[in-house]
A and B are shown apart, each in its own frame.
Chain A
C-alpha cells in the first residue's frame, strides 16, 4: 500500500502571497490531519478532516484553512503569508473510525517564506 504523499515537497514564497499544500492519504483512510513543525514551537496540530468535514481545529489564525475532497485527499491553504509561517507542514492519515487511532505521516512540505 502506498504511504501518505504530500506535494510539493519544497516551496518558496514571499510575504503576502498565499500557498496551497496537498496531501493524499493512504488508500482507505478517511481522516487527514495537518501539523506545523518549527524549531521554535515544535509540532503543533492545525486541523483534522474526516469525510470532508473539519472535525477538530488547533489554535492557529484564520489565515490557515483546509478542506477535504470526496476521495479523502486534503489541501491546506495559508493566505497572506508571514515570515513565521516558514515551517515543515506534515500531513497524517488514519482510518478515522475511532478515537486517537494510529496516524501515519507523510514526508512533509517544507515552506520557506521570504
Chain B
C-alpha cells in the first residue's frame, strides 16, 4: 500500500537558517511526488513536484527538493528561511498507471520561524 511518512511533526528554525523537511514514501514503483504548503485557515499551495528526469527539482519561494530512489525520500530544502515561511508543509505521492489524480498525503510538518 502507498504511504507517506513525515517524521518531524514540528520544527523550529531561526530566520536565515537553512531548512530541511523530511519525506519518505512507500510505493511499488517511482511515484509522482509533491510538496504543498498550507498557511493557517488556507488551502494548499503547490511548492514543487517531481514526475521524472532531474532528481533535483526547483520550486517557488526558493524551495527545492531532491528525489532519492535508493532512500525512498523526497526531502524539501531551503537555504535561508524567512519569517513568512512559517506554515505547515505536506508531502504527497500520486500513483502512476491508471487515470486517477488521487494523492496520498503525509501527516505534515509544522514549521515555526524564530526571529
Interface residues, chain A, with chain B CB atoms under 8 Å away: 4, 31, 33, 35, 42-45, 48, 50, 55-56, 58, 90, 92, 94, 96, 99-108, 110
Q: Specify which of B44, B97, B103 lies most central, judged by the most chain A CB atoms within 10 Å of its CB.
A: B44
A102, B46: Cβ atoms closer than 8 Å = yes
- Bound form: Cα–Cα A48–B94 in Å: 13
What's the dominant secondary structure at chain B's contact region? loop
Please give, as numbers and ranges, the residues of chain B lying within 8 Å of A92 by CB-CB distance.
44, 101, 103
Which one of B14-22, B60-68, B76-84, B104-112 is at the A interface?
B104-112
A100, B101: Cβ atoms closer than 8 Å = yes
Within 8 A of A (CB), among B9-46: 31-32, 34, 36, 41-46
B113 interfacial by beta-carbon distance below 8 Å: no
Q: Contact residue range for chain B? A: 20 to 34
Please give, as numbers and ranges, the residues of chain A lying within 8 Å of B57 by CB-CB distance.
none
30 contacts between A and B (CB under 8 A): A31-B101, A33-B101, A33-B102, A35-B105, A42-B106, A42-B107, A43-B108, A45-B103, A45-B104, A50-B99, A55-B99, A55-B101, A56-B101, A56-B102, A90-B43, A90-B44, A92-B44, A96-B101, A99-B95, A99-B101, A100-B31, A100-B51, A100-B95, A100-B101, A100-B102, A102-B34, A102-B49, A103-B101, A105-B44, A110-B41
A-B contact count (CB 8 A): 76
Name the CB-closest residue of B to A103: B101
Tell me the minimal C-beta distance from B87 to chain A in angstroms. Answer: 14
A100, B100: Cβ atoms closer than 8 Å = yes
Name the CB-closest residue of B to A31: B101
Give the 7 A-B CB pairs with smallest separation, nearest first. Answer: A100-B94, A43-B105, A105-B44, A105-B43, A100-B32, A107-B43, A56-B100
